[in-house]
Amino acid sequence: MVGEERLVHDLHGACERGEIVAHYQPQFDLATGRIVAAEALARWNHPELGLIAPGVFIPIAEDQALIHTLGRHMIEQVLAAVTSWNERGIALEVSVNVSANQLTTLAFFDLLDRDLGRVGLPANAITIEITESYPILDTPSIAIRLDELRQRGLGISIDDYGIGYSSLQQLERIPATELKIDRSLVQDGSVQSLALMTAIVELAHWRGLRVVAEGIETDEQLALVRELGCERAQGFLLAMPMPLAELESLLTA
Ligand code: C2E
Ligand code: MG
Ligand code: MG
């Protein structure tokens, strides 16, 4: 078996075999320079092919209806991490990516609700990031469920804002707590992108949302997003995504 066919085959059971692991990319508070949160990013530790990026296997997982198992597996890892940090007095928030497909099953919300109740964590330590799924949020039942999660204290982040389906209307509809400016805007450097970012930050703040700038690769980009008033920044300049153990040694160093 070669190529995609092999990946499709091997992805079945990958979670159960412990091959899908969460790596964590630190997010920095721009006022203090400290790490205040981390985004969990799925990695497939393939026994023969090595580490495979989510851009490759998430679309396959969506296609093969494996995204529910995978998403659940990621949430379990994240909750375990936050629980253990909590016990050790490490105050760190965590974000986890959730795809449109996951949101369409009400089982997702029930499980998340149950998990949160079971571990008894402060829900505000956890944020779910929603991407390219904005049209789905027009479904009233989903908007209501998201709102319930938010009422429980969970953070809701609008990921990759500024591209694709992003619109001002979406900002009105989604019961969000955070907005992440897409890295293509941050990195673009054009006058138009600067104007757009300025408007996005202003609007987000007016709506009471925290703003995270992603894809910071240069000192200039860092200075810019700080000047724009973003609260948090994330990017290769600041820290790469890393395994849990590495993140923990970085935090306790
Ligand atoms: P995302 O949620 O927007 O995550 C940020 C992506 O940007 C990550 O790629 C991260 O490694 C990358 N990144 C961070 N800083 C920089 C930078 O300075 N420069 C550049 N060029 N890239 C940077 P990654 O890990 O390959 O993930 C890609 C996408 O896959 C994510 O984009 C997210 O949409 C999706 N994804 C990852 N994990 C999961 C998951 O557990 N569930 C779902 N549904 N999607 C996931
Ligand atoms: Mg994300
Ligand atoms: Mg993003």
Q: 193: domain CATH number?
A: 3.20.20.450
Pocket of ligand 1 (CB under 6 A): 25, 41-42, 53-55, 58, 71, 74, 97-99, 129, 131, 159-160, 183, 214-217, 234-236, 241
Instruction: Tell me what pLDDT residue 1 has.
Output: 62
* CA pair distance 119, 78, nearest whole angstrom: 12
- Does residue 127 form part of some domain? yes
- Residues in the chain predicted with pLDDT less than 50, given as ranges, are none
d(CA 37, CA 62): 27
What range does the domain containing 95 cover? 27-41+66-252
Residues 6+ apart with CB under 8 A from 175: 143, 146, 147, 150, 156
Q: Is residue 56 in some structural domain?
A: no
CA distances 201 to 38, 174, 187, 204, Å, are 21, 16, 16, 5
pLDDT of 174: 83
Report which residue type is found at 59. P
pLDDT at 214: 97
In a domain, 149, yes or no: yes
Mutate to test the pocket of ligand 1, among 51, 56, 58, 220 (most ligand atoms within 8 A of CB): 58
Tell whether 236 is covered by a domain. Answer: yes
Residue 74: what are its φ and ψ, rounded to 5°?
-65, -45
Q: Would you say residue 8 lies in a domain?
A: no
Residue 19 within a domain? no
The three-class DSSP label of residue 149 is: helix
Strands 178-181, 155-161: pairing kind: parallel
Note whether residue 101 is domain-resident.
Answer: yes
- In a domain, residue 132? The reply is yes
- Radius of gyration of the chain measured on its C-alpha atoms: 18
Residue nearest to ligand 1 atom 30, measured at CA? 54
Question: What tokens does 216 get?
Answer: 């910071």
Residue owning the nearest CA to atom 23 of ligand 1: 215
The pair of structure tokens assigned to 95 is 């974000």
Total of domains in the chain: 1
Q: How far apart are CA 101 and CA 88, in angstroms?
A: 35
pTM of the entire predicted model? 0.96
